[in-house]
Amino acid sequence: MAKMYRNTLDTLHGFTKGIITERKAKRANGEKTSGKETNFLDMLLEHYDAGEIDDEGVREEVDTFMFEGHDTTSSGVSWGIWCIAHHPQVQQRLFNEICEMIGEDQEEIIITEHLKKMTYLDQVMKEAFRLYCPVPDANRRLQNDFQSGPYLFPKGAVVTIAPLILCRNKNVWGDDVLSFDPERFSEERESKRHPFDYIPSSAGPRNCIGQRFAQLEAKVMTCWLVRSFEFSSNLPFESNRAGAEGILRPYSGIPVFAKIRI
Ligand code: HEM
Which ligand 1 atom sits nearest the alpha carbon of residue 215?
1
pLDDT of residue 4: 78
209-214 contacts: CB < 8 A, separation 24 or more? 210/65, 210/68, 210/69, 213/69, 214/69, 214/72, 214/73, 214/76
Q: Round to whole Å and give the CA distance between 165 and 160.
A: 11
Which ligand 1 atom sits nearest the alpha carbon of residue 75?
1
Positions in the chain whose pLDDT score sits under 50: none
CA of 209 to the centre of ligand 1 (A): 6
pLDDT of residue 153: 96
Q: Identify whether the C-beta of residue 133 lies closer than 8 Å to the C-beta of residue 83.
A: no
CA of 207 to the centre of ligand 1 (A): 7
Q: Identify whether the C-beta of residue 200 lies closer than 8 Å to the C-beta of residue 162.
A: no
Instruction: Identify which of 135, 206, 213 to mutate to test ligand 1's pocket (most ligand atoms within 8 A of the CB).
Output: 135
Q: Is 166 left (phi over 0), alpha (psi -120 to 50) or beta?
A: alpha
CA of 70 to the centre of ligand 1 (A): 10
Residue 208 annotated in ligand binding: yes
Total-model pTM:
0.89
pLDDT of residue 1: 59
Q: Round to whole Å and give the CA distance between 85 and 256.
A: 7
Q: What structural domains does the chain harbor? A: 54-260 (1.10.630.10)
Q: What is the DSSP letter of 156?
A: T
- Express each pLDDT in 167-181 by its tens digit: 999 999 999 999 999
pLDDT of residue 52: 95
Which ligand 1 atom sits nearest the alpha carbon of residue 133?
5
Sign of the four-CA dihedral 62, 64, 66, 69: negative
